[in-house]
Structure 1
Amino acid sequence: MATGSNSQEIRPSPELPKQLPFDFLKKITNDFSAERKIGGGPFGNVYKGVVPDDGRLLAVKKLQENAPMPPDKTFNNEVQNIMALKHENVVELVGFCWETQKKLVQFDGRYIQADITESVLCYEYLPNGSLQQNLFAEPAIDWSTRFKIIKGICQGLLFLHKLDIPIIHMDLKPENILLDENMVPKIADFGLSRVFGQEQTRLYTQTVVGSYGYMAPEYLYRGEISTQSDIYSLGLLILEISIGEQNCKDKNQPSARNFIDKVREEWTLEHIASKYASLDTEGLHQVKICIELGLKCAEIDRRVRP
Structure 2
Amino acid sequence: MDGEDTTCYHLDSMLRDTNAEPTDLPLSLLKEITKNFSDNLEIGRGGFGVVYRGVLPNGMVAVKKLSADIQIEDQSFQDEIVCLMRAKHKNIVRFLGYCADTQGIMKEHKGRYVLADVRARLLCFEYIRNGSLDRLITDEYGGLGWAERYRIIKGICQGLRYLHEEQKIVHLDLKPQNILLDQNVVPKITDFGLSRLFDEQKTRTITAKQCGTWGYMAPEYLKDGIITFKADIKSYQGRSVGLKM
User: Same fold by TM-score, threshold 0.5 exceeded?
Assistant: yes
Residue of structure 1 equivalent to 2:121? 119
8 Å Cα contact 1:126/1:181 also seen in 2 = yes
Displacement, 1:140?
2.4
Residue of structure 1 equivalent to 2:33? 28
TM-superposition CA deviations, 1:167-208 (whole Å, max 9, x none): 000000001001111110001000000011111111111111
- Could you tell me which of 74, 90, 93 is aligned with 2:92? 90
Residue of structure 1 equivalent to 2:215? 213
User: What is the Cα-based RMSD across aligned positions, in Å?
Assistant: 2.0
In 2, Cα distance between equivalents of 1:233 and 1:17 = 28
In 2, Cα distance between equivalents of 1:73 and 1:34 = 29
- TM-score with structure 1 setting the length: 0.71
Which amino acid in structure 2 is aligned with residue 49 of structure 1? G
Does 79-88 or 120-129 show the bigger shift?
A: 79-88
Displacement, 1:16?
8.1
| Bigger Rg, which one | 1
- Change in Cα spacing, 1:186 to 1:66, as seen in structure 2 (3 Å) is same
In 2, Cα distance between equivalents of 1:223 and 1:31 = 39
- Could you tell me which of 143, 146, 150 is aligned with 1:147? 150
- Could you tell me which of 19, 24, 27 is aligned with 1:19? 24
Unpaired runs of 5+ residues, structure 2, are: 1-11
Unpaired runs of 5+ residues, structure 1, are: 1-8, 244-306
Q: Secondary structure at the match of 2:24?
A: coil
Displacement, 1:110?
4.6
8 Å Cα contact 1:105/1:114 also seen in 2 = yes
- Could you tell me which of 193, 196, 205 is aligned with 1:194? 196
Identity of aligned residues (%): 44
Residue of structure 1 equivalent to 2:228? 226
1:157 aligns with 2:160: yes
Which amino acid in structure 2 is aligned with residue 114 of structure 1? A
8 Å Cα contact 1:126/1:178 also seen in 2 = yes
8 Å Cα contact 2:22/2:85 also seen in 1 = no
In 1, Cα distance between equivalents of 2:239 and 2:111 = 48
In 2, Cα distance between equivalents of 1:90 and 1:179 = 10
User: Quick check: which one's strand share is greater?
Assistant: 2
Matches within 5 A, 1:279-294: none
In 1, Cα distance between equivalents of 2:122 and 2:34 = 12
Residue of structure 2 equivalent to 1:59? 62
Displacement, 1:73?
4.1
Displacement, 1:210?
0.7
Does 192-201 or 102-111 show the bigger shift?
A: 102-111
8 Å Cα contact 1:44/1:63 also seen in 2 = yes
Displacement, 1:109?
4.6
Structure 1 runs, 4 residues or longer, greater than 6 Å off: none
Which amino acid in structure 2 is aligned with residue 222 of structure 1? D
TM-superposition CA deviations, 1:211-230 (whole Å, max 9, x none): 00000000000100000011
In 1, Cα distance between equivalents of 2:26 and 2:47 = 24
- TM-score with structure 2 setting the length: 0.88
- Could you tell me which of 39, 45, 55 is aligned with 1:40? 45
In 2, Cα distance between equivalents of 1:147 and 1:16 = 32
